[in-house]
């Protein structure tokens, strides 16, 4: 069996280690995949009151008085930067 098709250790059910999930549809390797994911991300974080940076569209900011949380979306990852744990915790999904 290919190593990329192994179940994650935390999800293995006794006696069913050989089983894997079959995707019915995947967006990976499609030209529009990153665009679709980015649109979904932008829409979701607007509902969490984040503002998108006009100069750097991959940067989203949520600010309250002296508290800030930045969500940075480089390609297919997310970087979180904060200066207040409570505000940060209210944002974590």
- Boundaries of every domain in the chain: 49-93
Q: Each residue of 20-60: pLDDT tens digit?
A: 766 666 556 666 666 777 787 788 888 888 898 889 888 88
Per-residue pLDDT band at 76 (split at 50, 70, 90): low
List the one residue out of 31, 1, 28 whose CA is nearest residue 17: 1
55: which 2 tokens? 């100069």
Grouping H, G, I as helix, E, B as strand and the rest as coil, residue 67 is strand
The residue among 63 and 33 whose pLDDT is bigger is 63
What mean pLDDT value characterizes the chain? 76
In the chain, % of residues over pLDDT 90: 1
- Give yes or no for a contact between 60 and 46, defined as CB atoms under 8 angstroms apart: no
């Amino acid at each position: 069996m290919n190593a990329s098709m192994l179940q994650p250790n935390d999800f293995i059910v006794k006696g069913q280690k050989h089983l894997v999930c079959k995707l019915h549809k995947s967006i990976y390797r499609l030209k529009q995949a990153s665009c679709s994911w980015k649109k979904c991300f932008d829409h979701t974080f607007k509902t969490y009151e984040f503002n998108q940076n006009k100069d750097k569209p991959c940067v989203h900011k949520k600010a309250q008085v002296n508290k800030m949380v930045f969500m940075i979306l480089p390609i297919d990852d997310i970087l979180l930067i904060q200066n207040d744990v409570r505000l940060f915790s209210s944002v974590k999904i």
